[in-house]
Structure 1
């Protein structure tokens, strides 16, 4: 796999999902990431990637023949309209509803939508509100 750029200092270096149907996952992720303004990084035999998300076919050499299981991945949106667009796009490209767009009780202005990807992973897109978007980092107490 070819990496375009290394980002040091992040909490997560990369995430790999091993999927049962790579073409279905490619159609799903390329569509939703496009809505979020994230370009696909590339693809090769048995895998594709975007930013630090790597998706591998179950029969690919990096998968070792095992699916990764269910995960919850959350992507950030720039506004509520982007959350809404993500939700509609995801449903149109093989996603299944797991929570329509709306405010959530996690903190004020938490607006999110949830879908299950073709392998059952819980994919969320969240907009944290204008005040939180303008800050470089925000401490949220639970």
Structure 2
């Protein structure tokens, strides 16, 4: 069984444009695309965690889960900054600009919401 997360999309093209731009900053790419479904993975290899962006099967509008968040790892603070900037430039909204957080040593993170309202975190814990 492949580990995966599914994020709802109301306007599939808008959501995929958002994720194409944002995930490219951490070297994630799409590796599979179906009508109303698109899969992303690290380096586009289809291995490890897969993130699916999809219209809900029940045809009801996609909504963000209260308390749900998907966190992505960054290898540098520059990637955190780029992820955040790409998110804001592609229809995302700010939930916490890039900065050092008190969650752990060297915890540098940013938080955004995608066009549907799904919350995303980007975190780098590498020492400066």
**TM-score bucket (shorter structure):** 0.7 to 0.9
Structure 2 CA distance for aligned equivalents of residues 82 and 24 of structure 1? 22
**1:130 offset after TM fit, Å?**
3.2
Output aligned runs, 1:45-124, within 5 Å: 45-51=35-41, 52-58=50-56, 63-66=57-60, 67=62, 69-70=64-65, 71-124=68-121
How high is the TM-score relative to the length of structure 1? 0.76
Structure 2 CA distance for aligned equivalents of residues 86 and 18 of structure 1? 20
- How many aligned residue pairs are there? 117
Name stretches of at least 5 consecutive residues in structure 1 with no aligned partner: 1-5, 8-12, 132-142
Name stretches of at least 5 consecutive residues in structure 2 with no aligned partner: 42-49
1:23-75: CA deviation from partner (whole Å, max 9, x where unpaired)? 111011010111111121121111101121111123xxxx2224353231110
**Structure with more strand by fraction:** 2
How high is the TM-score relative to the length of structure 2? 0.84
Structure 1 CA distance for aligned equivalents of residues 69 and 19 of structure 2? 14
Structure 2 CA distance for aligned equivalents of residues 93 and 46 of structure 1? 19
